[in-house]
């Protein structure tokens, strides 16, 4: 399961959450609001220098070509 970073649109809290898929929207850990936004930029930056590997079309273990494999690199390979 991928870990995403979210920011609450209500109180501004930032937190990481392990979610079953990219469509899952967790609630804010601080205030419990459901209005949270996934921080894709921070997420990919976290993995950029570590172990980003090429991800061939349709073979991404995340199953979300518009997310983790944007730019042709898969952080989960």
Q: Are 76 and 47 in contact (CB under 8 A)?
A: no
Q: Is 33 in the site for Zn ion (CB under 5 A)?
A: yes
Q: Which is nearer to Zn ion, 33 or 70 (CB)?
A: 33
Q: Is 40 in the site for Zn ion (CB under 5 A)?
A: no
State both tokens at 67. 């997310």
Q: Which is nearer to Zn ion, 11 or 59 (CB)?
A: 11
Q: Which is nearer to Zn ion, 11 or 48 (CB)?
A: 11
Q: Is 10 in the site for Zn ion (CB under 5 A)?
A: yes
Quote the strand ranges of the chain, DSSP E: 3-8, 14-18, 36-38, 53-54, 73-74
Handedness of CA 44, 48, 51, 54 (dihedral sign): positive
Q: Is 30 in the site for Zn ion (CB under 5 A)?
A: yes
Q: Which residues bind Zn ion (CB under 5 A)?
A: 8, 10-11, 13, 28, 30-31, 33
């Amino acid at each position: 399961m991928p870990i995403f970073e979210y920011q609450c649109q209500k109180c501004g809290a930032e937190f990481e959450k392990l979610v079953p898929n990219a469509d899952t929207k967790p609630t804010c850990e601080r205030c419990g609001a459901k209005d949270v936004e996934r921080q894709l930029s921070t997420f990919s930056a976290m993995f950029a220098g570590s172990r980003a590997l090429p991800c061939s079309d349709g073979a991404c273990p995340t199953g979300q070509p518009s997310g983790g494999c944007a730019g042709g690199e898969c952080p989960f390979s």
